[in-house]
């Protein structure tokens, strides 16, 4: 039995040596080295490109540079003295375009960067639609990341819409969202009324009550 075990051990050792030799040959391959270098450069450029884009999109002037109407008007409102809409009111609180136009966390910012890169490509290749068309409306998650307490606290009558909004959204695919009432760039409302368009809000209230009943029941 000993000779067989010895022969098997030598066979296993030979197979391992052969595998190591093949692995070393692959690792020393000039083609592989070139591929790894290209991959490393790609990763560095991607990371650097994202960092650069993230830095640039932190400046509202950069965002406005690729837009015509209606964004030009929105930007002018935000840089003028005195808030005339919800966006310019946020600007006074040092809120940037990207703060509202990106979702929560890193994934939300990455999604916004990818959309920005796509839009930039369309702009520089003269394929961008003008006036700009909304393809990615501001979602509730964009607002809730800064206004969570609005939805979770103060269950008083004046806040009951926010408390019951998720219930409405759970039963109605056409339910309202944050921007249904809180439109960033319309001037129908007054600052004293948090820039809410009373007529729009009234319609939304009635729609919610029809969907889930009086008092949210």
Question: To the nearest whole percent, how much of the chain has pLDDT over 70?
Answer: 71
Residue 67 in this model has a pLDDT that exceeds 60: yes
Per-domain residue ranges of the chain: 1-56, 62-136, 138-217
Residue 44: its pLDDT value, please?
47
The pLDDT mean for the chain works out to 77
Beta-carbon contacts of 70 under 8 Å, excluding residues fewer than 6 positions away, are 131, 132, 185
Give the closest residue to 97 by CA, choosing from 84, 79, 82: 79
Quote the pLDDT of residue 176. Answer: 93
As a whole number of angstroms, the distance between CA 175 and CA 147 comes to 19
Show Cβ contacts of residue 124 under 8 Å, excluding neighbours closer than 6 positions.
none
Sign of CA dihedral 139, 144, 150, 155: positive
Residue with tokens 């650097």: 48
* Omega cis (within 30) before 70: yes
Q: What is the pLDDT of residues 22-46, one digit of tens each?
A: 666 655 666 655 565 565 555 545 6
CB 168 within 8 A of CB 208: yes
Neighbours of 49 (CB within 10 A): 12
Rounded Cα–Cα distance for residues 146 and 100 (Å)? 9
The dihedral formed by the CA atoms of 62, 66, 69 and 71, expressed in degrees to the nearest 10: -30
Is the pLDDT at 1 greater than 70, yes or no? no
Q: What is the pTM of this model?
A: 0.65
Task: Judge whether 178 and 143 are in contact, CB under 8 Å.
Answer: yes
């Amino acid at each position: 039995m000993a000779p067989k075990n010895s022969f098997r051990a030598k066979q296993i050792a030979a197979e391992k040596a052969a595998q190591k030799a093949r692995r070393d040959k692959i690792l020393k391959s000039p083609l592989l080295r070139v591929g790894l270098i290209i991959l490393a450069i790609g990763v560095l450029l991607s990371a650097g490109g994202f960092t650069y884009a993230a830095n640039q999109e932190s400046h509202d002037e950069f965002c406005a540079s690729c837009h015509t109407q209606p964004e030009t008007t929105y930007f002018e409102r935000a840089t003028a003295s005195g808030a005339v809409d919800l966006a310019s009111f946020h600007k006074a609180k040092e809120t940037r375009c990207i703060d509202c136009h990106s979702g929560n966390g890193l994934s939300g910012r990455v999604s916004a960067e990818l959309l920005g890169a796509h839009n930039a490509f369309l702009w520089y290749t003269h394929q961008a639609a003008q006036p700009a068309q909304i393809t990615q409306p501001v979602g509730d998650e964009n607002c809730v990341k800064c206004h969570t307490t609005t939805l979770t606290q103060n269950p008083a009558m004046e806040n009951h819409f926010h408390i019951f909004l998720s219930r409405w959204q759970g039963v109605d695919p056409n339910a309202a969202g944050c921007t249904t009432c809180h439109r960033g760039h319309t001037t129908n409302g007054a600052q004293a009324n948090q820039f809410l368009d009373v007529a729009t809000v009234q319609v939304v209230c009635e729609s919610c009550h029809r969907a889930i009943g009086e008092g949210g029941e």
